[in-house]
Each structure stands twice: as structure tokens, then as C-alpha cells.
Amino acid sequence: MIDVQDLVVSYGTATALDHLTLTVAKGEMVALLGPNGAGKSTLANTLAGLLEPASGTVSVGGRLALIPEGRQLFPDLSVADNLALGGWRSGLRDPSSVYDLLPRLAELSGRRAGVLSGGEQQMVAFGRALMSRPEALVVDELSLGLAPNVTADLAAHLAGLNRTQGLTVLLIEQNARLAFELCSRAYVLESGRLVTEGACAELADDPRVASAYLGGA
Ligand code: ATP
């Protein structure tokens, strides 16, 4: 579903992704881990078509939606209007399927997005992505700035969609524990390059990964 081959993306003379190869099969839920500045958001934005590769290829075999880092909502618009913008390309006007899945959004529908809590805003960003009826979802830092119980709630919704609807997910995270709980496989990116990849169960036992991402081996 998501196929990235030998991808190079640069900002001027600075190379943010350096020959990255990564795949996510249809129905898979795969994590991309890495510290600040590793190039994770650059990949997300390239997959979403917002950045052009300098070389290499990116192909996505279905409709893809991005939950961007920092949510990127329109703060002065209502929740309902933010959701409607997500349905602009798919033609989905009626948010009821999203409200069925995330009932809290129906309660919040008339509120301005900018006054909501971080967790509520992330839920709006999630709902907005679903309005585009995606077959694949790239989630850039689901857990950033959220309380653990709020993150767990959103993660459960994500896992449910993957299980019941076969939604393909690339989960970009700094929180390796969360990523390992949700995903079957993971890639680890540092300074634009893959340092390791594999089954989460094996990566969690890798001392390099454990010390860097799990707070000690
Ligand atoms: P974070 O979690 O902090 O967002 P990240 O892994 O998503 O980190 P990127 O945001 O993709 O990393 O950044 C990768 C590299 O590209 C970093 O060195 C960053 O400084 C640089 N970079 C990102 N955006 C730009 C930009 N618009 N112009 C120039 N350099 C940029």
C-alpha cells in the first residue's frame, strides 16, 4: 500500500531523508521511530504529496490521509467545519459515520477547534482524516503532548479501524512503547537513514533500541 524506495528529500542543501526504503502492506500497522530531526515528518509530508523527492520513488496504492504533527486544525472554525474540510476531496459531506466512531466529536461539533484540549484536538484531526475515507493513514506523533489515558483512547480507535476495516497505518512515534504495543513491525530512523527495522517483538529486545527508545535495556 505504501512503497518508498531509495527516497532522498532535501531542504536546499540539507538532506533530510538519505536513501530511505520502507514498505507498509495493505492492512498492516507499522511504526516509524526516531528522535527529533530524524526525518519522520519529512517522510509524512512526502507521502502526503507536500514535498517533492529529490530522487527515489514514493507510491501509495490507495487514498491516503495524514494526521499531521501538531494537528494543524483551523482554530477559529468549528469542529464540524474542520471535519467538513477533511471531506472536501472525498465528497463526504455527512460526518455521521465519523460521529458514530468518535461520539465525542458530535458533542463538540459546534465548538471552536482552538478552545479544545490537546486530546480533543487530536481527535478532531483524526476525524478530519477519516472524512477523506482513507485506505491508508499516516499518523505523525499521535501521542505528542497528550496524557497517557488520552493517547490510549486514540490508539484504541486506531487499532480498531485497522482490525475491523483493514485500515493501513504508518504510525510515526517517539513513544516506542506505544508503537510496539500497536504495531507488528517498526523502522528506526536516525539522521535521515534507517538504522534498523524488524518485528516489534525483536526490536524491543535489541539493546540499542531499548536504551535509546525504551529508557534502558
Ligand atoms: P521532529 O519530531 O522534531 O519533527 P522529525 O524526525 O519529524 O523530527 P523532520 O522534521 O523531518 O524530523 O526534520 C528532518 C531534518 O530536516 C532536520 O534536520 C530538520 O532540521 C530539517 N528540516 C525540517 N524541515 C525543514 C525546513 N522546512 N527547512 C529546512 N530544514 C528543515
Averaged pLDDT, 68-94: 89
Other Cβ atoms less than 10 A from the Cβ of 122: the count is: 26
Q: What is the pLDDT of residue 215?
A: 65
Cell of 161: 479501524
39 within ligand 1 shell (Cβ under 6 A): yes
Rounded mean pLDDT of the chain?
A: 92
Ligand 1 pocket mutation pick from 4, 11, 72 by most atoms within 8 angstroms of CB: 11
Cell of 116: 479544545
Residue 216 C-alpha from the chain's centroid: 26
Give distance in angstroms: CA of 59 to centre of ligand 1: 22
Yes or no: say if 140 and 51 are a contact pair by the CB < 8 Å rule: no
Yes or no: say if 113 and 73 are a contact pair by the CB < 8 Å rule: yes
Q: What is the pLDDT of residue 217?
A: 41
* Closest ligand 1 atom number to CA of residue 42: 11
pLDDT in tens, 104-148: 999 999 999 999 999 999 999 999 999 999 999 999 999 888 889
pLDDT in tens, 142-167: 988 888 998 999 999 999 999 999 99
Ligand 1 pocket mutation pick from 40, 172, 190 by most atoms within 8 angstroms of CB: 40
Three-class secondary structure of residue 183 per DSSP = coil
pLDDT in tens, 168-205: 999 999 889 899 999 999 999 999 999 999 999 999 88
The structure's pTM equals 0.93
